[in-house]
Chain A
């Protein structure tokens, strides 16, 4: 992809201002909750207030008689519907497929977590529905709940799903054939560092709560679902084919402006199926708007791993082997991609940026009486990075080595590099990102800053770490072998209008990432027209080709590649038209700055004249090509992409209170080529804040009975503006991806992956420097109470 001729004010590499912003800044965006259909009714769900119980009876009589109530639904109404499906089947280390429980739309027989929907009241107004929901009488026999993962797989544990006979979803080993070699390497090792840690459970908390509006046209039998989704085609397929039995051509799914997702809006949720079903049953549009307190107990949560990691080293500090044992919480049901997160998105990343010849990862996925857990920004990769980068820091300290030098000694330096955990890094330069980090984070000035902190009575520490991630998911055939029940290609249609403007219909979905701007920049670059001549359409199954949506930092790498492929077909056809108009050979035609010209001559024709000819084919090679200028392409990547980088965090710890303040944060990322540097910076900023949130503030906390203690913004500590500093970010180290046409890698998750270990390493460093040498680890979130307690145990 040529970029040398791009003027700085447009095309690839320009920080083009976002066109999305005008509607969002003027209150004229159209989010799902802004959609109100004529005659719509509203639903309120009756949700379980206990974590585990047997439903003896649901008495809806009083509720049904309340003002405005149209109907009260219970599980019995969904006897003919399928359960909410899981999109990934993991095979365990013994060759058995995972345990897969049924996930009903409304709880059937048992409730399995606080928030499990039991009944649904549809009424004329939302207030009436809520009032009536209060009048539904649910007789539940409360059962002992199981919250702790290790307790859940003891023989005497209560069972979340009685019919499965166990709470163990799977016991996965990776790579199982490596296990003996890994064990032998540990026996022979000079030094072994062992660390047990918790990757704390998080609640994604996109600022827009989920909303779903179902509509049914009786005259045609057409269903429409408006929903807050990152992937409307996936919802259409899952809900249509597996839950409600509606063929795709009778079901349209629209995800309009969506207010953030971070993974939580990938999944197909019961409420979507409910409103679609109820709209037909009642012949009225039915709308559900999630309250925030409801979203805390119904949106899929993230992370929640408990891990023991061991790192074996030789006397010089070369990594010899890694062995891990992880318990991964699935919650009460399997959410759409839940089984893949602790396995293929986690185990395959355990090599990190390092040459470690022997790796074995064991993951036990466990059902508990908690909200289902699924992908949240980074999804498996933050968990891998956190344990690896924490144990390396600890090993450096134990062996008296510099943590940067220990990492450098083990960096992968030759590419392609095949790890022992089944992935092939195509390109990277980890020394370069580390060198750049040392420069932009001003390591040289650290001691002076530490002295300044000391004058204030504060303990300053510096933490660094590296990360690598696998993005641009994913090669469909590979993930099919690994258990995915979906393809992971992407699609685009490039439609050129008669007067030269371009509309791109993409299967990717933007919910904050700015695709309408950055995708247009790519087309602008390819054709040489202004960005405002390009429109990007997404989020509606009725007018975009079947695509898989946005997650896993895949949009520009996979969706962008599909668009480039379709645009290339368009340009190739336009070149033939131009050749005809210029009476020259195709091979001699060049496209530059929106003009086709004959090489070596001054003969040329404007882009707009060619596109007009395509639709007004009076002088046109109709014997060779069809009229029109519109092409569709599907792109299936041949490999993942591997963004990588190095992060540094400086903290001050108040020794009296344990409060941690992040003073400085620097990130160097290698994302390959960059389309819009401004947008890329913004993606990293947001990821860093979520990473700081995980490290210091956020925790989805359950009590022993399964009550969610952090069920509102008063209890769940979201990062606020004064919890974070300005960040220094750099992405000038660029090793372009070798296998996609733009050379891009994806940037959406890096910040959330790279940040937590940097923060924790910094706090441990601060305490170590202050003489608390026994403090080698503190579990996240590093609340003042935990940090203070750690300091007291000396």
Chain B
């Protein structure tokens, strides 16, 4: 067992973990932050995307002990403390960018990283960036629209 310390959503946490404990296990089982999901075991689906030191990271593909000292942000930290959704979260709701919700935390975290890197992406850039995030429900249409809208670009409102 190894002691690991990090800040998660701004809160300092530390725990003893096995060497093989994945960051996603640490978040879900250790901290009870179950918003980060596990949708595959080959680092393909992106349901577990979080930010580690500001970078979009698949939490199923990194050991918790390798995140010692890191600043980790998860979906639970995206809304304001009073519950107000972030612009990206709000855009996902306004544009119906989610259905079953399982891929959604990863999508939102990826979208946030994309807009940090590239504040006004084109449609093609959004689609390419989401290569590592699989959604089975939405056909991506409204996810792409939501991200473009969150970037401040004009997009027709859902179904109107």
Q: Which residues does A use to contact B, with CB under 8 Å?
A: 15, 17-18, 20-31, 33-34, 36, 127, 205-209, 257-260, 262, 289, 291-293, 511-514, 677-682, 685-690, 712-714, 718-722, 724, 726-727, 751
CB-contacts of B90-127 with A (<8 A)? 92-94, 96, 98-105, 108, 123-124, 126-127
Given contacts A22-B85, A682-B96, A722-B128, contact A207 B45 (CB under 8 A): yes
Contact A209–B131 (Cβ < 8 Å): no
Write the nearest CB–CB distance from A538 to chain B, whole angstroms.
14
- Chain A residue with Cβ nearest B21: A127
Asked if B36 is at the interface (CB within 8 A of a chain A CB), the reply is yes
From A26, A30, A289, A685, contact of B139 by CB (8 A):
A685
Q: Are B138 and A722 in contact (CB under 8 A)?
A: no
Cβ-defined contact, B85 with A25, below 8 A: yes
Q: Are A685 and B142 in contact (CB under 8 A)?
A: yes
A712 near B40 (CB under 8 angstroms)? Answer: yes
CB of A15 within 8 A of CB of B37, answer: no
4 residue pairs, one from A and one from B, having the closest CB atoms: A27-B35, A24-B101, A259-B102, A689-B139
Cβ contact within 8 Å between B140 and A689:
yes
Within the complex, the shortest CB–CB distance from A261 to chain B, in Å, comes to 8
B96 touches A679 (CB 8 A): yes
Could you list 15 further interchain pairs (A-B, Cβ under 8 angstroms) beyond the known A292-B42, A721-B135?
Answer: A25-B93, A27-B34, A27-B74, A28-B35, A207-B134, A259-B37, A260-B136, A289-B38, A511-B100, A512-B99, A713-B44, A719-B140, A720-B134, A721-B127, A721-B143
Which of B136, B140, B145, B160 contacts A206, CB < 8 Å?
B136
CB-CB < 8 A to A205: which residues of B? 136
Q: Is B131 a contact of A721 with CB atoms below 8 Å?
A: yes
Q: Please state if A681 and B105 are interface contacts (CB–CB under 8 Å).
A: no
Q: Is the interface of B mostly helix, strand, loop or mixed?
A: loop
* Interface contact A685-B94, CB-CB below 8 Å: no
Query: Nearest chain-B residue to A21 (Cβ)?
Result: B93
Chain B's nearest CB lies how many Å from the CB of A199?
19
15 contacts between A and B (CB under 8 A): A23-B101, A24-B98, A25-B92, A26-B85, A27-B75, A34-B34, A208-B100, A293-B42, A512-B137, A682-B138, A712-B42, A714-B44, A720-B134, A721-B143, A726-B141
Distance (Å) between the CB of A278 and the closest chain B CB? 21
Residue B53 interfacial (CB < 8 Å) = no
User: Which one, B98, B103, B159, contacts A21 given CB within 8 A?
Assistant: B98
| Bound CA span A695–B157, Å | 30
Tell me which residues across on chain B come within 8 A of A681, comparing CB atoms.
96, 142, 158-159
Pairwise interchain contact B101-A257, C-beta atoms closer than 8 A: yes
For A293, the chain B residues whose CB sits under 8 A away are 41-42
Question: Is B103 in contact with A15, judged by CB distance below 8 angstroms?
Answer: no
CB neighbours of B44 from chain A (8 A): 712-714
Interface flag for B150 (CB, 8 Å)? no
CA A136 to CA B85, docked complex, whole Å: 49
Nearest CB of B to A41, in Å: 14
A686 near B101 with CB under 8 A, answer no
Question: B142 and A20: CB pair below 8 A?
Answer: no
Please report the C-alpha to C-alpha distance between residue A259 and residue B104 in the assembled complex, in whole angstroms: 10
| Residues of chain B in range 61-110 having any CB-CB distance to chain A below 8 Å | 74-76, 78-79, 83, 85, 89, 92-94, 96, 98-105, 108
CB <8 Å contact, A18 and B96: yes
Please tell me the size bucket of the interface on B: 35 or more
Q: How far is the CA of A722 from the CA of B124 in the complex (A)?
A: 7
A residues in contact with B141, CB < 8 Å: 682, 685, 689, 724, 726-727
Which chain A positions have C-beta within 8 A of B100? Answer: 24, 206-208, 257-260, 511-512
Interface contact B101-A26, CB-CB below 8 Å: no
A449–chain B nearest beta-carbon distance, Å = 18
Q: How far is the CA of A726 from the CA of B144 in the complex (A)?
A: 9
Chain B residues closer than 8 Å to A27, beta-carbon distance: 33-36, 74-76, 78, 105
Q: Output the nearest chain B residue to A34 by Cβ-Cβ distance.
A: B34
- The answer to whether B93 and A721 touch across the interface, beta carbons within 8 angstroms, is no
Alpha-carbon distance A492/B6, docked complex (angstroms): 48
| B11-60, CB < 8 A from A | 18, 20, 28-29, 33-42, 44-45, 47
A292 touches B136 (CB 8 A): no
Q: Does B133 contact A (CB under 8 A)?
A: yes
Known contacts A207-B45, A207-B102, A686 near B75 by CB under 8 Å: no
- Residues in B with CB closer than 8 Å to A29 are 35, 101
Residues of A within 8 A of B96 (CB): 18, 678-679, 681-682
- Complex: A289 Cα to B41 Cα, angstroms: 12
Question: How long is the Cα–Cα vector from A23 to B34 in the complex, in angstroms?
Answer: 12
What is the chain A residue whose CB lies nearest that of B20? Answer: A127
Return chain A residues, CB-CB under 8 Å to B40: 209, 292, 712-713
Bound CA–CA A688/B138 (angstroms): 9
CB-defined contacts of A514 to chain B, threshold 8 Å: 99
In contact, A25 and B104 (Cβ under 8 angstroms): yes
- Taken together as a complex, chains A and B put the C-alpha atoms of A209 and B47 apart, in Å, by 11
Closest residue of B by beta carbon distance from A751: B139
Question: Given the complex of chains A and B, what is the CA–CA distance between A26 and B89 in angstroms?
Answer: 8
- Check B39 against A208 for contact (C-beta < 8 Å): yes
When distances are taken between beta carbons in the complex, the residues of chain B under 8 Å from A20 are 101
Chain A nearest Cβ from B108, distance in angstroms:
7
Contact A687 B139, beta carbon cutoff 8 Å: yes
Question: Taking the nearest CB of chain A, how far is it from the CB of B136, in angstroms?
Answer: 5
Minimum distance in angstroms from B133 CB to a CB of chain A: 7
Contacts of A260 in B (CB 8 A): 99-100, 102, 136-137
Q: Report the bound CA distance from A36 to B32 in whole Å.
A: 10
Contacts of A15 in B (CB 8 A): 158-160
Q: Is the CB of A25 within 8 A of B108?
A: yes
Q: Does B130 contact A (CB under 8 A)?
A: yes
Choice from B45, B103, B140, B142 contacting A292 with Cβ under 8 Å: B45
Residues of B contacting A209 with CB < 8 Å?
A: 38-40
Q: Is the CB of B127 within 8 A of A722?
A: yes
Do B159 and A677 touch across chains, with their CB atoms under 8 A apart?
Answer: yes
A85 to B53, CA, bound (A): 51
A721 contact set on B, CB distance < 8 A: 126-128, 130-131, 133, 135, 140, 143-144
> Given that A15-B158, A207-B47, A208-B102 are contacting pairs, would A26 and B76 also be in contact in the complex, using a CB cutoff of 8 Å?
yes
The smallest C-beta distance from B149 to any residue of chain A, in angstroms, reads: 13
How far is it, in angstroms, between the C-alpha of A783 and the C-alpha of B98 when the chains are bound? 29
Which residues of chain B have C-beta atoms less than 8 A from A17's C-beta? Answer: 93-94
Chain A residue with Cβ nearest B129: A721
A36 / chain B contacts, CB cutoff of 8 Å: 29
Bound complex: CA of A712 vs CA of B39, how far in Å?
11
Contact of A685 among B75, B127, B138 (CB under 8 A): B138
Contacts of A259 in B (CB 8 A): 37, 39, 100-103
A28 vs B36: C-alpha distance in the bound complex, in angstroms?
10
- Knowing A512-B137, A679-B96, A690-B136, the reply to whether A713 touches B42 (Cβ < 8 A) is yes
